[in-house]
């Protein structure tokens, strides 16, 4: 019995020949980008009225 049961793993460098995996990765990246942008917008709006001693805004983008 020489039947191999080893399953090849995906390339850890990110290369994937599977189009579905690439679509999922792209969607996940976009979702993370949107979440980070929303967090940043919330942070900036929460501190929009804060100024430094010289009158400049404390937080800017």
User: How far, in Å, CA of 59 to CA of 50, rounded?
Assistant: 8
Tokens, residue 17: 């020949």
**pLDDT tens per residue, the chain (61 residues)?**
578 788 887 777 766 668 888 899 899 999 999 999 999 999 999 999 999 999 998 888 8
Which pLDDT does position 18 carry in this prediction? 80
Which pLDDT does position 5 carry in this prediction? 84
Q: Which residue range forms the structural domain that includes residue 39?
A: 19-46
* Residue 50: alpha-carbon gap to chain centroid: 28
Which pLDDT does position 61 carry in this prediction? 83
Residue 33 lies in a domain: yes
Which pLDDT does position 15 carry in this prediction? 65
CA distances from 49 to 5, 15, 40, 46 (A): 63, 46, 15, 8
Instruction: Single out the residue of 52, 48, 53, 49 nearest to residue 61, CA to CA.
Output: 48
Residue 3 lies in a domain: no
Residue 59 lies in a domain: no
Number of structural domains in the chain: 1
């Amino acid at each position: 019995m020489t039947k191999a049961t080893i399953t090849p793993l995906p390339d850890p460098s990110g290369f994937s020949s599977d189009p579905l995996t690439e679509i999922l990765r792209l969607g996940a990246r976009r979702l993370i980008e949107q979440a980070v942008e929303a967090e940043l917008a919330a942070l900036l709006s929460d501190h929009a009225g804060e100024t430094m001693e010289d009158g400049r805004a404390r937080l800017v983008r």
